[in-house]
């Protein structure tokens, strides 16, 4: 499946999800598809849809707190298609909106990897027979839908992990950089004031403390010649 090729480090998540939604429509004989995802705050948002129609996006938007998508996310289980009467009964707002948009049934699968549930993928069909065909008769269709959802989940989780790791890597680089500058600053002070590097370190720390400044920034300023630290006076015992 060519979508799997996109699971590399720097792929654009939004673009990936949009293409996934379009792929669903092509593959599964449904009329629309969309994905909702959890955001950093834990709320659901519409991540992508097979078409950028406001009425389609709106249909997913309203499922952030109710409807099959919400139920799917909450239960971490697929929500199979139901007849329109039952749909209207269970989810009145969604059912009405779906009808108005020309859809007769929906099939929703969770975006899930073990116990991590990050959202849902919903397929929308305009003819009830098609969704019933998908749900009841077409096992391959169901499996493909879940497989596509699983692909999306893996890609998104990997991308999130990578961002977190890149942040840590950046912190590591900064920490290392700061250590080097602090050592250089010790040498600068040792030479300028004719003291040992240990005494230079004491001077650095003292200055940083008394000026509520970060040690690494003080060190940088010393090394760059922007800051001269006065030598400590004779110590009192």
Under 8 Å between Cβ of 141 and 130: no
Beta strands in 148-213 (DSSP E): none
Under 8 Å between Cβ of 206 and 215: no
Stretch of 26-34, 62-70, 90-98, 150-158 lying at the interface with other proteins (CB under 8 A): 150-158
Supply angle C-alpha 157, 52, 16, rounded to 5.
25
**Which of 222, 145, 113, 233 is closest to 178 using CA atoms?**
222
Binding mask 103-122 for other proteins (x = CB under 8 A): ----------xx-x------
Stretch of 17-25, 30-38, 70-78, 183-191 lying at the interface with other proteins (CB under 8 A): 183-191
Does residue 168 interact with other proteins by CB under 8 A? yes
Does residue 180 interact with other proteins by CB under 8 A? yes
Residues 47, 59, 188, 203: which binds other proteins (CB under 8 A)?
188
Does residue 202 interact with other proteins by CB under 8 A? no
The rounded radius of gyration (Å) of the Cα atoms in the chain is 29
Does residue 154 interact with other proteins by CB under 8 A? yes
CA dihedral 208, 210, 212, 216 (to 10 degrees): 0
Residues 53, 139, 165, 209: which binds other proteins (CB under 8 A)?
165
Under 8 Å between Cβ of 89 and 42: no
Between CA 73 and CA 112 the distance in angstroms is 9
Instruction: Compute the least distance from the CB of residue 134 to other proteins, in Å.
Output: 28
* CB closer to other proteins, 14 vs 136: 14
Instruction: Compute the least distance from the CB of residue 115 to other proteins, in Å.
Output: 10
Point out which residues bind other proteins (CB under 8 A). 9-10, 113-114, 116, 154-155, 157-158, 160-181, 183-192, 197, 223
């Amino acid at each position: 499946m060519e979508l799997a090729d996109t699971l590399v480090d720097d792929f654009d998540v939004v673009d990936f999800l949009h293409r996934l939604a379009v792929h669903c429509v092509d593959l599964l004989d449904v009329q629309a598809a969309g994905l909702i995802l959890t955001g950093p705050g834990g709320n659901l948002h519409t991540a992508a849809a097979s078409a950028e129609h406001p009425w389609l996006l709106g249909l997913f938007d309203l499922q952030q707190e109710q409807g099959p998508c919400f139920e799917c996310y909450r239960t971490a289980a697929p929500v199979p298609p139901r007849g329109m009467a039952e749909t209207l009964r269970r989810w009145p707002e969604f059912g009405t909106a779906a009808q108005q948009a020309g859809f007769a049934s929906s099939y929703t699968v969770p975006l899930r990897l073990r116990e991590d549930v990050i959202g849902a993928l919903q397929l929308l069909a305009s003819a009830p027979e098609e969704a019933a065909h998908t749900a009841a008769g077409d096992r391959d269709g169901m499996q493909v839908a879940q497989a596509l959802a699983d692909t999306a989940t893996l890609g998104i989780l990997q991308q999130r992990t990578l961002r977190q790791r890149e942040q840590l890597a950046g912190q590591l680089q900064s920490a290392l950089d700061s250590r080097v500058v602090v050592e250089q600053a010790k040498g600068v002070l040792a030479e300028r004031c004719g003291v040992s590097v240990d005494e230079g370190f004491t001077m650095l720390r003292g200055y940083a403390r008394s000026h509520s400044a970060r040690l690494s920034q003080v060190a940088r300023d010393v090394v760059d010649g922007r800051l001269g630290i006065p030598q400590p006076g004779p110590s009192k015992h």
